[in-house]
Structure 1
Amino acid sequence: MSSTPRVSRRLLLAGAAGVAAATGLPRHATAAPATADGFASVPALGLSGTTGGAAGPTVTVTNATDLAHYAGRNTPYTILVGGRITFDDMVTVVADKSIIGVGTSGVIDGGGLQLGSTTRPGNNVIIRNLTFVNASDDSISVTNAAHHVWIDHNDLSNGYDGLLDVKRASDYVTISWNHFHDHSKTTLVGHSDTYTADRGHLRVTYHHNLFEGTAQRHPRVRFGDPVHVYNNHFLNNELYGVASTEDAGVLVEYNYFENVAHPAYVGYDESGPGRLVERNNVYVNSGAPQTAGTVTEPRTYYAYSPDPAAAMPSLVRAGVGVGRI
């Protein structure tokens, strides 16, 4: 096991500032934020927001044994992933951790990260700047009532089950600036139609993500209210974009849907209908969204300033994925 001095915030943010300067896009739109926004920023459940492992030391890991060791420690850590780590199954991440890839080298190959167990919660966790590929189960599973989770600037593809699932009464989650591609079941919110313990939880923000060549679940939501889906680019999604089911409340706004025959469903497969409000989206070579009911306004919880939907193809492409923080 090896350790390194704490990495300065200036170095972590330098790459994103360069992207903004090179593209001429507004700095606020592409520069990686220093702190979580959306639901992960909301004071609740004894936390003032999401800080991950900032209170603890920084270590660098290059193998699965060290990754599992530090991710499972009962004290805060910032864990830097240097290089490709190949393993099977899931590594459990417990409270107060930041897991961050170094440059563009941090890769999780074959396995995934599970936030928390039934006895050890995965609260206050940050996952950034990592590539996830070939997962034997989920690439990232936010589960077992984990809360205050920020998943930002990752690249996720070619998994077995879900690329990023939020379930089992987890709450206050932000999923931002990620590139999801080459997969079917992309991101689920809510464990199952019969897991009614998810009611009153599952508050999730999705913003500035690229869903490219992914078939479905962007997200598929059960029970959560509100789930806020804004400023994303949906591109070539074969089955559908967003699905609101089992009385979920989903707000879909300022997104760009391109080559998506069914941008939004109310109810899907055997799941009963949810509620879905759409506004200020752009639809290019896409069908009309289904809508129903009303949804709790996210501004009840946090402030946000959406970018124009028409800017999403260039803005999101310029900012998503690894090497941008």
Structure 2
Amino acid sequence: MTPRPAATPSTKPAPGRSTLAAGLVGVLVLPLLGAADPARAGLPGPAAPTRDAAIACTDAPIGFASVNAVGQSGTTGGAGGPTITVTTAAALEDYVGRAGPYIIRVSGRIQVDDMLTVVANKSILGVGTSAEITGGGLQLGSTTRPGNNVIIRNIRFTGAGDDSISVTNKAHHVWIDHNDLSDGYDGLLDIKRESDFVTVSWNRFHNHSKSSLVGHSDTYTADVGKLRVTYHHNFFDGTDQRHPRVRFADPVHVFNNYYRNNALYGIASTENAGLMVEGNYFENVAHPIYVGYDESGPGRVVERNNLYVNSGTPQTAGTVVEPRTFYPYTVDAPASVPGSVSGGVGVGKVCA
């Protein structure tokens, strides 16, 4: 890849709130499909209703999931494939693991026992406000079946026995949007093992310690040059740490997120990772940004135009690749973040 120019710390304020920047690559359509024809599609089981306002949207991710790269034009998920509705763990496991594109609508509460492997070209979309996956989680891809071009939206994840969502095994072009994640065992959302071009947006993380890890371990150097992730408009609501904790990646772009009452720290950049942190609102966070953490070596952080309310002083170091060299974006005024983010995150608000 052609080398990108580095960004340096800036005291200039970020742009104010405006409409979505023009020029996003690809438009994702979560279509208003009529009932699928199981016989024609070769599918057993129920078909989707004619429309659902909660997921019938025309929009696209901002950030790394929008970038044309690795032979993929943005992130489209299961667009163009059959639409089906699942209500059981068996059906969910079946369809997320099938080859080819599918738009999979999750209806109601589904109890799973383990991590379900999601393979390429899937949209996994909660119906209404009651879609829930509990007891287990979703793993994007295996070592032999990639989990590329996947969208997960409008689902509540609770009580996972491992991670709630694991983006792993070289998965690329993933959009995780408007979910509610809580009360798991390990990480609520981990991105690792050479995964790339991921956007995490408008999610609420709560009732948990370890929110989101980027990078498998201090010794997994295969992650160098990968793990490009955008976090925007997420609510880290009382979670202790990893919002995110990052190894090796450059850049990880963290903008317009709301941090509240995070007991250990907000963000940690380690093992020479490069983080651009801008337009965020930290409230009651004693250590908003660390450079290096625990036994991990230091990373790099550029921070600009963040607000620190009853919070400590952020650590910064070095220079970082400028996200704007990859994609356009607009940063909201950080003072507006608590209201817009707390009111807009989570399930049932996809079209808000």
Q: TM-score category by the smaller chain?
A: over 0.9
2:300 to 268, 271, 275: 275
Which residue of structure 1 aligns with residue 287 of structure 2?
262
SS state of the match for residue 60, structure 1?
strand
CA contact (8 A) 1:263 1:286 kept: yes
Q: Output aligned runs, 1:78-93, within 5 Å.
A: 78-93=103-118
Q: Which amino acid aligns with 2:290?
A: Y
Matched position secondary structure for 2:166: strand
Q: CA deviation at 1:152?
A: 0.0
- What one-letter code is carried by the residue in structure 2 that aligns with 1:86? Q
Letter in 2 for 1:11: A
How big is each residue's C-alpha offset from its partner over 1:132-173, in whole Å with a ceiling of 9 and x where there is no partner? 000000000000000000000000000000000000000000
- One-letter code of the match for 2:53? L
1:38-66 deviations in whole A, cap 9, x for unaligned? Answer: 10000000011000001101000001100
Rg comparison, structure with higher value: 2
The TM-score, its normalising length taken from structure 1, stands at 0.92
In 2: Cα distance, 1:7 partner to 1:150 partner: 24
Superposed displacement of residue 117, structure 1: 0.1
Matched, 1:198 2:223: yes
Partner Cα separation in structure 2 for residue 33 and residue 301 of structure 1: 22
CA–CA distance in structure 1, aligned partners of residues 205 and 50 of structure 2:
27
Q: Post-superposition shift, 1:2?
A: 2.5
Report the Cα offset of residue 36 of structure 1: 1.6
Which residue is 1:305 aligned to?
330
Contact 1:6 1:57 in 2 (8 A): no
Which of 302, 315, 340 does residue 315 from structure 1 map onto?
340
The CA deviation at 1:4 is: 2.1
1:281-310 per-position Cα deviation (integer Å, ceiling 9, x unaligned): 000000000000000000010000110000
Work out the CA distance in 2 between the residues paired with 1:117 and 1:293. 35
Structure 1, residues 212-268: CA drift from partner, whole Å, max 9, x if none?
Answer: 010000000000000000000000000000000000000110000000000000000
1:66-86 per-residue CA deviation (whole Å, 9 max, x = no partner) reads 001000001100000000000
Letter matched to residue 169 of structure 1? E
Read off the aligned partner of 1:123 and give its amino acid letter.
N
Are residue 4 (structure 1) and residue 29 (structure 2) matched?
Answer: no
**8 Å contact kept, 1:216–1:241:** yes
Quote the Cα distance in structure 2 between the aligned partners of 1:162 and 1:107: 17
Q: Which amino acid in 2 is paired with 1:45?
A: V
CA contact (8 A) 1:3 1:58 kept: no
| 2:71 aligned counterpart, secondary structure | coil
What is the distance in 1 between the residues matched to 2:99 and 2:305? 44
**What TM-score comes out, normalization by structure 2 length?**
0.85
1:73-109 C-alpha deviation (Å, 9 max, x unpaired): 0110000000000011100000000000000111001
Q: What letter matches 1:241 in structure 2?
A: G
Residue of structure 1 equivalent to 2:251: 226
Tell me the equivalent position of 1:62: 87
**Secondary structure of the corresponding residue to residue 317 of structure 1:** helix
Q: Is the 8 A contact 1:91 1:114 kept in 2?
A: yes
Aligned residues: 307
Whether the aligned pair in 2 keeps the contact of 1:13 and 1:34 (CA below 8 Å) is no
The aligned counterpart of 2:232 is 207
Q: Name the structure 1 match of 2:34.
A: none
Structure of greater relative contact order (alpha carbons < 8 Å, 6+ residues apart)? 2
Q: How does 1:25-104 map to 2 (within 5 A)?
A: 34-104=59-129
Root-mean-square deviation (CA, aligned residues, Å) is 1.2
Instruction: Find out whether 1:111 has 2:136 as its counterpart.
Output: yes
User: How big is each residue's C-alpha offset from its partner over 1:146-202, in whole Å with a ceiling of 9 and x where there is no partner?
Assistant: 000000000000000000000000000000000000100110000000000000000
* Counterpart secondary structure, 1:197: helix
- Aligned amino acid, residue 193 of structure 2: R
Q: Distance in 2 between matches of 1:289 and 1:236?
A: 15
Please state which structure has a larger fraction of its residues in helix. Answer: 1
Q: In the aligned structure 1, how far is the partner of 2:168 from the partner of 2:55?
A: 29
SS of the residue aligned with 1:265? strand
Residue type at the aligned position of 1:200: G
Question: Which residue of structure 2 lines up, in the alignment, with residue 135 of structure 1?
Answer: 160
1:304-323 deviation digits (Å, cap 9, x = unpaired): 01100000110001110000
Question: CA 1:275–1:308 in 2, change beyond 3 Å: closer, same or farther?
Answer: same
Q: Which residue of 2 aligns with 1:284?
A: 309
SS at match of 1:100: strand
Distance 1:228 1:218 in 2: 12
Identity of aligned residues (%): 70
- AA paired with 1:150? W
In structure 1, the residue corresponding to 2:105 is in which secondary structure?
strand
Name stretches of at least 5 consecutive residues in structure 1 with no aligned partner.
15-31
Tell me the amino acid that sits aligned with residue 2 of structure 1. G
Following TM superposition, by how much is the alpha carbon of 1:7 offset from its aligned partner in structure 2, in angstroms? 5.5
Please name the residue that 1:18 is paired with. none
- How far apart, CA to CA, are the structure 1 residues paired with 2:82 and 2:112? 25
